[in-house]
Structure 1
């Protein structure tokens, strides 16, 4: 029996004290401070844009940060996914029965706004823990133990988390897929007709150049949790490490590679991010010269020159389109990044865009290697 994840409460990051993540989320991506807590050697700051909430845990106290674990990962990282559940104690029992390790059994936290119960579970993705949170009826600004902070309303570019992409070690996707199915109730989401869930979708970057293996998981029926995407490298003759392999090395293991943030107006969002100083990943120039690409962009109601100016990728057909743009890393270690995504009827992840992103990152890596 799975512990059904009802929705994503927040994504937690562990960073050194005075690291710039909180400031960058506010200044570059329009997040606003929601709540804060300072105790036990930790400074915990919750930031919000729409329904997307990031919890930045700064420092490294002698105890555990509230609502998570300190796994002492070697580099700054997305360390925890917090999911709402109907009954945290029952969910913990169900996962224990599945053989899961629960280093933090259910505990109740209360303040003047109400109470919450949470438990923390180890996941099979090295540094990534999962929090099961029961908070029905809680009416505070964030969670018990946190106080409100003065903030200026953000620009509202982001409405919610669209998907979470995990960078995985080669060959581990089937094991991770079954874990999220058996333990949290996620279900395989085919990215191509007749896709074998044990194989996933293979996106190649060219003959002998390797590629990506993608496996998507949709949340349980009735859940508002985001889609999970498992990404791993395919072997190839190219000696250069691809972006997943680079992540595994720089991050020192698998983990959350990027978060897809949904925006209702990707042009406004990208213009705002770049105007604030945010850096976006530039696709190859040839991307916009692909046969049929200009007509595809026009059919979606956009101007090719404007999309090219902002580095926005577009994919789709039959009147259903998807637009994406990717940021550069938010950490000096060049690991975690963000994606802005807008959907015009499309439900997939833009396989053609994934290939274009792959090529752009590979070209950037080659230029960096020559430099």
Structure 2
């Protein structure tokens, strides 16, 4: 591996001036402003909940924003993943030897709180770039060049990033998996026993409507990097687009489709976000009427009526359960969204929940077309 990632520092977005992403992250999802930088035509605002940090790059400037890269993308987008590495200079040399393109070479930034060095690497995943960051000993709230903002306690709905899901073109997962393995040290994480890493996990949507191919990747146990999930469409019998294909069309190519945010209490978090005005996806009506679903929810220690009221999905068995709820898109283009996830011993992603999400997104799209 060329540059083993040790932890996820932040997820960066690029949005036009006046786009409400930063406001929505604060008001609807409980993220608190952490630090800001305003220079060169850019307003860069970092918001945090627990260990999850989002950096919103708003506007446009003649130069690249610090710690990121302006992709000049046609729609608002999650454009950059910033990872902590041990040695940026060594990582850059190793990546260059592998043929990787680094539009921002190793760059040192200093302020009164210390020094950080970073480089930006282009990835094969659409408009997504990767920032490799070295900031050992930096004493500031975020990074050199940023002004700290008053620390205000948030509701604590989110503790950290659980996983990152990339929407990929059909057949590209093996190539992406090898790139993330060779360059950042990710390894295949089986989602089902005996899973072939070249094939991933296939989740059929039913009724000839295709489905999803999911390939999960993780870094070694001594890191704190979230699981990376590659999602691509399986061919169906009809010609209508599924949500991965719709993302590719509306987003203008592959990219970060959603971020899974871990919550220690999904019931409190989803209720609080809904009261704040967050729009959550509604599962199919038949989801909670499935044979054995009520017993499964009770076995996990929850009330079926409460989960149904809040649209929370539950999957698992014995002492391993997974609870999930999904937001509608944060952008008018109907692309990127967030997921809340709570794990009660489960380590996977719940095949039945994946199918239910698939169906709920398809039904939401059908309702929107009929409106």
State the TM bucket, normalised to the shorter chain: over 0.9
Q: Hey, what does 1:76 align to over in structure 2?
A: 76
Secondary structure (helix, strand or coil) at the match of 1:121 reads strand
Secondary structure (helix, strand or coil) at the match of 1:285 reads coil
Deviation of 1:331 (Å): 0.4
How many Å separate the matches in 1 of 2:73 and 2:262?
A: 28
Secondary structure (helix, strand or coil) at the match of 1:13 reads strand
Q: Hey, what does 2:2 align to over in structure 1?
A: 2
Q: C-alpha deviations, 1:294-329, integer Å up to 9, x for none?
A: 000000000000000000000001210000000000
Q: C-alpha deviations, 1:265-289, integer Å up to 9, x for none?
A: 0000001000000000000110000
Q: Hey, what does 2:200 align to over in structure 1?
A: 200
Is 1:173 aligned with 2:184?
A: no
Secondary structure (helix, strand or coil) at the match of 1:89 reads helix
How many Å separate the matches in 2 of 1:209 and 1:179?
A: 30
Q: Hey, what does 1:360 align to over in structure 2?
A: 360
**8 Å CA contact 1:115, 1:138 repeated in 2:** yes
Deviation of 1:151 (Å): 4.7
**8 Å CA contact 1:5, 1:220 repeated in 2:** no
How many Å separate the matches in 2 of 1:181 and 1:142?
A: 28
Q: Hey, what does 1:280 align to over in structure 2?
A: 280
Q: Hey, what does 2:258 align to over in structure 1?
A: 258
Is 1:144 aligned with 2:144?
A: yes
How many Å separate the matches in 1 of 2:210 and 2:168?
A: 15
How many Å separate the matches in 2 of 1:332 and 1:353?
A: 25
- Mapping of residues 293-332 of structure 1, within 5 Å: 293-332=293-332
Q: Hey, what does 2:102 align to over in structure 1?
A: 102
Scaled by the length of structure 1, the TM-score of the pair is 0.99
How many Å separate the matches in 2 of 1:147 and 1:364?
A: 41
Is 1:338 aligned with 2:352?
A: no
- Mapping of residues 60-71 of structure 1, within 5 Å: 60-71=60-71
Name structure 2 gaps, 5 residues minimum: none
Name structure 1 gaps, 5 residues minimum: none
Is 1:270 aligned with 2:270?
A: yes
Deviation of 1:239 (Å): 2.3
How many Å separate the matches in 2 of 1:239 and 1:359?
A: 16
Secondary structure (helix, strand or coil) at the match of 2:286 reads helix
| Structure 1 segments (4+ residues) deviating >3 Å | none
Deviation of 1:240 (Å): 1.8
**8 Å CA contact 1:34, 1:46 repeated in 2:** yes
Deviation of 1:369 (Å): 2.5
How many Å separate the matches in 2 of 1:176 and 1:70?
A: 22
How many Å separate the matches in 2 of 1:217 and 1:91?
A: 20
Q: C-alpha deviations, 1:350-369, integer Å up to 9, x for none?
A: 11100001011112222222
Say how many residue pairs are matched: 371
Q: Hey, what does 1:220 align to over in structure 2?
A: 220
Secondary structure (helix, strand or coil) at the match of 2:357 reads helix
Q: Which moved more, 1:155-164 or 1:220-229?
A: 220-229
Q: Which moved more, 1:245-254 or 1:151-160?
A: 151-160
How many Å separate the matches in 2 of 1:186 and 1:226?
A: 10
**8 Å CA contact 1:4, 1:220 repeated in 2:** no
Deviation of 1:6 (Å): 0.3
How many Å separate the matches in 1 of 2:202 and 2:366?
A: 23
